[in-house]
Structure 1
Amino acid sequence: MKKIIFPLLLMLSGSVFSQVSMGTTPETNNKWTFGGGIGVGFGSQNSFYLQASPKVGYRLTDDLEVGVVGSVSWQTSDYYRSTMFGVGPFVNYYFARSFYVGANLQQYFINFKDKFYDYKTNEQETALYLGGGYMQRIGTHSFMQIGLMYNVLYKENSSVFSSGLIPSIGFVVGL
């Protein structure tokens, strides 16, 4: 099943983004950008993870973009189930349309249920991600972004996250 779903999702997301980037040609005076990322994971104890993070930005200059990013994720396994929503502002600065640095402030709302102990909790956590990465052109005004971000507010014993460091892969249309 895993061998079928993952390639299918990759082909579907590639098809969607190729149609967006080649099917529309934003006017050069359009300053709005759209993008985001999708994540899927599988693990032991029948664990499954699905995440989507859409974003909308506005180019203040050709190299400076500000906007809002959202995040929603679902995790489930034999032992737990959780849903997490996040929203917040971001800023990206682009170098020669090949590299970027950025900051992203997210406020997360987490709903967690431990199936084994029948324990439920609702929590909130703030994360400030700083980082950057590489951009690969995939269309006239479309790019794939591959980067690494670090949550500078991460505290090992009090965070719902397992680490402060996160890799990121996403797409942006309109640059």
Structure 2
Amino acid sequence: METPVQNNSRWTFGGGVGFGFGSNSYFNLSAAPRVGYMLTNDLEGGVLGSVSWQKSNAYSSTMFGVGPFLNYYIARTFFISANYQHYFINYKDKIYDFNAKTNEDALYLGGGYMQRIGNNSYLQLGLMYNVLWKENSSIFSSGLAPSIGFVVGL
């Protein structure tokens, strides 16, 4: 029988990477460092930052984002997640040859699977959906966002 590890700190640290593909040669690569605090044994809240690079046949952009998140852990095997991001976007339109700076909000809801990789460390594999996404007014080509992340401190 394995003895549980006593973790005296309620702080968690980690991050993730994400990627996306879509029509018109769309590609997105992102990184998202995060710091959290265990509000209960299964509920974590914190702050998530992000940097993202996107390109397609029609445009390219660089984005920086920041916002809060909540994760609910189910038996340290699955998680349900919500996070809000406010993005600051530098955008270049390749067809009409102009640059723009804009902002966009995203509210990602989803969840996924967790695999223990150490005493209090986990690999998280998930799928999120931006419920604020609108096809004709968003810089994102899709509302779906797969993610791979790590968290230490659970």
Structure-2-length-normalised TM-score: 0.85
Label 1:172 to 1:114 Cα distance change in 2 as closer, same or farther (>3 A). same
From 100, 118, 128, give the equivalent of 1:149. Answer: 128
Q: Name the residue aligned to 1:35.
A: 14
In structure 2, the residue matched to 1:85 is 64
- Pick aligned residue for 2:78 from 80, 85, 99: 99
The CA distance in 2 between the partners of 1:64 and 1:50, in whole Å, is 28
1:73 aligned residue (52, 67, 84) = 52
Structure with the higher helix share, 1 or 2: 1
TM score, norm. by length of structure 1: 0.75
CA gap 1:76/1:150 in 2 versus in 1, 3 angstroms: closer
Cα pair distance change 1:114/1:103, threshold 3 Å: same
Amino acid aligned to 1:65: E
1:79: how far off? 6.3
Unaligned runs of 5+ in 2: none
1:56 to 26, 35, 50: 35
- More strand per residue: 2
Other structure's SS at 2:7 match: coil
Shift of 1:51: 2.1
Moved over 6 A (4+): none
Given the superposition, is the C-alpha separation of residues 83 and 97 from structure 1 closer, same or farther in structure 2, using an over 3 Å criterion?
A: same
> Which structure has the higher relative contact order (CA within 8 Å, separation 6+)?
2
May I ask how many residue pairs the two structures share in their alignment?
Answer: 149
User: What RMSD, in angstroms, separates the aligned Cα atoms of the two structures?
Assistant: 2.5
Q: Deviations over 1:24-45 (max 9, x none)?
A: xx96110110111134789xxx
- AA aligned opposite 2:139: V
User: Cα distance, 1:62 vs. partner?
Assistant: 1.2
- Report what 1:174 is aligned to: 153
Q: CA deviation at 1:74?
A: 2.5
Provide the residue aligned with 1:162 in structure 2: 141
